[in-house]
Structure 1
Amino acid sequence: MAQDGDKQSEEPQVTLYTLEDVRKRNTAKEIWLVIHDRVYDITKFVEEHPGGEEVLFEQAGADATESFEDVGHSIDAREMLNQYYIGDLHPDDCKNQGKKVSILIHYSFRVPECDISLSWSSWLIPAVAVVILGFMYRFYTVDSRSS
């Protein structure tokens, strides 16, 4: 008969890495990077990256969240990250630790307890597009009335 103390927790233990740990993995033999406070070992993926190796080498050993989001990766690319996931960034190294943001992500990966910084392009580009469409609509409706 098992006691409560003998039961294993249902959630697997997550390995925590510091930014210093990630910075040390910045060689051709071992490349780690951080995206949304999750640590990935992308060593085996470097040659397969559609954007070329150079892009990954520039981000190696650092937090690549902003660059990853600015490119606008597809859902498939986000799901592909799961196979390279090795742990979470230590909470002391998370950006904006004091401000918790809860975001529902539909990309099938768990978000660590750290913040997620949203890219400016995720809201600015659609806002500019709406303004331009509004002006175009206004221009064409005024132009057609004067004819």
Structure 2
Amino acid sequence: MVRILTREEVKKHKGATWVIIHNSVYDVSEFINEHPGGEEVLLERAGGEASEGFEDAGHTPDARSRLQKLKVGEISTTEHKDLEQKTEDWLAVTKDPNELDTEPENSYAVPIVIVVVALLACFYYYYF
């Protein structure tokens, strides 16, 4: 059974470092020293909301799966916050379909300009 907690309970929790990410509560106490971003990042958000910081850091799918092992409960549905959760394709860049494509994918303009400039430089060198 999933443990249901309030935000106030998470804030007051003693003896462990708990953070809230996407309405789930995680005990990051054992992970603080291993966190690649440094322990201060976790300690700043201890007892509170860390969803935005977690998403802004661009955590990998591996980091997200590791986080699931630290889950201790969920926030009561009456206190849920709706925050956008990034998926595994968070690195994918998508184009706006309404945006005009001003640059062709196979552009030969740059190599042609380089060749023309080189030929002109050779011509100038030999005849002047």
Unaligned runs of 5+ in 1: 1-12, 97-115
* Cα pair distance change 1:75/1:52, threshold 3 Å: same
Structure 1 residue 50 corresponds to structure 2 residue 36: yes
Please report the RMSD computed on the Cα atoms of aligned residues, expressed in angstroms.
Answer: 3.5
Aligned to 1:126, the other structure's residue is in SS state coil
Identity of aligned residues (%): 34
* Structure exhibiting the larger radius of gyration computed from Cα positions: 2
Structure (1/2) with the larger helix percentage: 1
Unaligned runs of 5+ in 2: 117-128
Looking at both structures, which has the greater relative contact order when contacts are Cα pairs under 8 Å and sequence separation is at least 6?
2
The count of aligned residue pairs is: 110
Aligned partner of 2:104 in structure 1 is 137
Pairwise CA distance, 1:75: 1.1
Pairwise CA distance, 1:95: 1.2
1:1-147 map, 5 Å: 13-25=1-13, 29-96=15-82, 116-118=83-85, 122=90, 126-127=93-94, 134-137=101-104, 140=107
C-alpha distance in 1 between matches for 2:61 and 2:81: 24
AA at the equivalent of 2:11: R
Task: With the length of structure 2 as denominator, give the TM-score of the two structures.
Answer: 0.68
Task: With the length of structure 1 as denominator, give the TM-score of the two structures.
Answer: 0.60
Aligned to 1:137, the other structure's residue is in SS state coil
